[in-house]
Amino acid sequence: MALLEKIPAKISPLTFDVLVAQIRRTLEEGRVRAQKAVDVERARTYWEAGKWIHYYKLKGKDRAKYGDGLFETLAENIGVARSLVQDMHLFYQAYPIRQAPDELPWTHYQWLLRVKDKKQRDLLTKQAVEKNWASRELKAAVQKIQRKALETKSKDPAAGFKLIPRKGKFFTYSIVRPQNMHEGAGGFSLDLGFKARREIDFSGIRNPKPGEIVQIIRVKKDPAGDRYKIVRGNFKPSDLYTYKAKAQIFYDADTFWVDVDQGFRNWTEQKLRMRGIDAAELTEEVGKKAAAYVKKVISAVSFIVIKISGRDKFGRPLADVFYLEGADDRDKVLAEGKFLNQELLDLGLAGRME
């Protein structure tokens, strides 16, 4: 009888169905608490890692050796995405306190890092802690700030940020020599980008070296087997990963699927994110306008030209996108085409993504 008297009145009588419901709720609440604890610890860990990156950039004895490539080289050596390394560094810079911030989980801080104004970010951090915001609530608050920034930019497009377009050279590839346990050192092949390789005959050039960048020219087009010529020159890493592509499915103004011509009659489907910009989602009015504009201009051309420069935090290739109505020559589109990333900024249809 004493045990029954402790049962809360709101769940009395305690039937079997009520028991099942209570246990399910208890387990779910426990799962949520456990996930939050893991996420909070992840934030603390990333902050500590960001601190070490900050120290190295200030006082590392060999930091000049890596320069602008520090994040990419570091990511390769520790086995994580470059964007995560960059986020860890930004995290420490945004919250340079003596101890790692442990009020919120990492998913919350990922949204807070999108707020560049320190006062706004600090205010949102305080509100998220005091009001115990879920990730979706914080996301809504951050996107509201971004919308206001976009509205301000749209009133004065000329004051917008200017991206420097990146342009490479078509059909330039890096020579690689795959190392695998089945074939030993293996032979040389070409890195086509998007984790694809092409084996070709290198007998026409003397002493090919891994990492050397060459250009491939087709000298004979034949369905039975094309013939190619390898051209050496003063090519740079920035010349790589420039392609003709055809747009497919749009998710929003800055994210869409494309068919990419890698050369050698090879095509690959890839989901791209446009470099340097951040368009609103399709659930928002400005996002719908931006997506409609992109679909309109791209549907008016037979192809686009893209230059890939790394990947975002979700692993999507980051692209500079060029288009030119009435053009059927890829070189002309690259040289004279409109820079779509910058257009969206100038029209106030997207904000800057640093």
Q: What integer pLDDT is reported at residue 84 of this predicted model?
A: 87
Query: What is the pLDDT, as a whole number, of residue 183?
Result: 59
Structure confidence at residue 154 (pLDDT): 53
- Supply the pLDDT for residue 300: 92
Give the span between the Cα atoms of 315 and 25, in whole angstroms: 35
pLDDT at residue 24 greater than cutoff 80: yes
Q: In sequence order, which residues have a C-beta less than 8 Å from that of residue 28 and are 6 or more positions away?
A: none
Please report the pLDDT score of residue 172 as a whole number: 96
* pLDDT reading at 157 higher than 50: no
Q: Which tokens in the block code for residue 9?
A: 């009145």
pLDDT digits (tens, 9 = 90+) for 232-263: 999 999 999 999 999 987 777 899 899 999 99
Q: What is the pLDDT of residues 93-124, one digit of tens each?
A: 988 875 667 788 898 998 898 888 888 888 99
pLDDT at 7 over 80: no
CA distance 336 to 80: 37
pLDDT, residue 12, reads 59
Residue 298 confidence (pLDDT): 93
- pLDDT exceeds cutoff 90 at 166: yes
> What band does 185 get if pLDDT is binned at 50, 70 and 90?
low
Say which range, 30-44, 47-61, 75-89, 175-189, has the weakest mean pLDDT.
Answer: 175-189
Please tell me the distance from the alpha carbon of residue 94 to that of residue 113, in angstroms, as a whole number.
Answer: 7
E-assigned strand segments in the chain: 172-176, 189-193, 196-198, 213-220, 227-231, 242-252, 255-263, 266-274, 277-278, 304-311, 317-323, 338-339, 351-352
Q: Does the pLDDT of residue 149 top 90, yes or no?
A: no
- pLDDT interval class at 336 (50, 70, 90): very high
Per-residue pLDDT reduced to its tens digit, 207-225: 888 899 999 999 888 887 8
pLDDT computed for residue 177 by the predictor: 83
Question: pTM here?
Answer: 0.60
Average pLDDT over residues 54-61: 88
* Per-residue b or e along 296-318, where b marks 16 or more CB atoms closer than 10 Å to that residue's CB: eebeebebbbbbbeeebeeeebb
Q: Which carries the bigger pLDDT value, residue 182 or residue 144?
A: 144
Residue 2, pLDDT > 60, answer no
Q: Residues of the chain with pLDDT > 70: what percent? A: 90
3-state secondary structure of 335: helix
- Average pLDDT (267-282) is 89
The least confident of 73-87, 122-136, 187-201 is 73-87
Least trusted range by pLDDT, from 32-36, 118-122, 320-324: 32-36
